[in-house]
């Protein structure tokens, strides 16, 4: 969202709680609390370095961003750290590459603390109460939306990483408990409607 001027956006203040990571182990958001309510803030992965160097648990911070429709989410354009330093989304470095990480089979179960969303408000997983980040593709997440809702019981299996910010699992199976896991598959593309034939026929 580097094309948006952060100075013209509303500001939300809160206490930084923890980072949220994507399947590559990169920070792509964080949780902060405001008057005891938890707020999910989305940040693009290219801001990872600046955010992790500037933010720590318990910091009072401010966020300027936009709220997509239909999601409990604040998509940040700028984050103001405790020292007043403004970390702005100036767009990605197109030469930037994902970190070279090695995934391994991993499972988790627990209670959903909050649903996780992409920058446009698309459902993309859940944060468990033990801090585990569960990631699911947006199309697949629609199939198991009820399991990703706050306070839902969720068990998953997939490919995971343990990072300094916690663990993340890209789920390939999900259920209400470990004995009820089912594969998560991409929905089949809808069949295209046949083209209408020329009512007058062909010459």
Number of other CB atoms surrounding residue 61 within 10 Å: 21
Q: What pLDDT, on a 0 to 100 scale, did the predictor assign at position 36?
A: 75
In this structure, the dihedral spanned by the alpha carbons of residues 81, 85, 90 and 92, taken in order and rounded to 10 degrees, is -60
Q: What pLDDT, on a 0 to 100 scale, did the predictor assign at position 194?
A: 54
Asked if the domains at 6-88 and 104-183 fall in one CATH topology, the answer is yes
What residue ranges do the domains of the chain occupy? 6-88, 104-183
pLDDT in tens, 20-59: 999 999 999 999 998 878 999 999 999 999 999 999 999 9
User: Which homologous superfamily does the CATH classification assign to the domain defined by 6-88?
Assistant: Nucleic acid-binding proteins (2.40.50.140)
Q: What are phi and psi of 127, to 5 degrees?
A: -110, 120
Residues of the chain with pLDDT under 70: 1-2, 94, 96, 98, 189-203
CB 127 within 8 A of CB 112: yes
pTM given for the model:
0.86
Q: What pLDDT, on a 0 to 100 scale, did the predictor assign at position 203?
A: 43
Decide: helix, strand or coil at residue 141.
Answer: helix
Q: What is the CATH number of domain 104-183?
A: 2.40.50.140
Cα–Cα distances (Å) from 167 to 11, 98, 131, 174, 194, in that order, read 30, 17, 8, 17, 47
What token pair was written down for 144? 């198991």
């Amino acid at each position: 969202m580097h094309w948006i001027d952060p100075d013209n956006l509303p500001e939300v203040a809160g206490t930084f709680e923890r980072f949220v990571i994507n399947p590559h182990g990169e920070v792509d958001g964080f949780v902060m609390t405001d008057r005891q309510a938890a707020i999910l803030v989305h940040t693009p992965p290219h801001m990872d370095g600046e955010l992790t160097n500037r933010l720590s648990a318990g910091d009072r911070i401010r966020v300027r961003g936009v709220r997509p429709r239909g999601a409990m989410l604040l998509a940040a354009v700028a984050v103001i750290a405790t020292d007043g330093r403004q970390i702005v989304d100036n767009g990605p470095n197109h030469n930037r590459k994902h970190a070279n990480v090695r995934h391994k089979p991993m499972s988790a179960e627990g209670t959903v603390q909050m649903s996780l969303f992409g920058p446009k408000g698309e459902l993309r997983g859940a944060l468990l109460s033990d801090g585990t980040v569960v990631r699911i593709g947006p199309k697949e997440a629609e199939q198991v939306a009820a399991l990703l809702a706050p306070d839902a019981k969720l068990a998953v299996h997939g490919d995971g990483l343990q990072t300094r910010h916690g663990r993340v699992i890209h789920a390939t199976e999900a259920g209400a408990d470990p004995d009820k896991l089912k594969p998560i598959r991409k929905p089949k593309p809808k069949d295209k409607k046949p083209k209408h034939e020329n009512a007058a026929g062909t010459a």
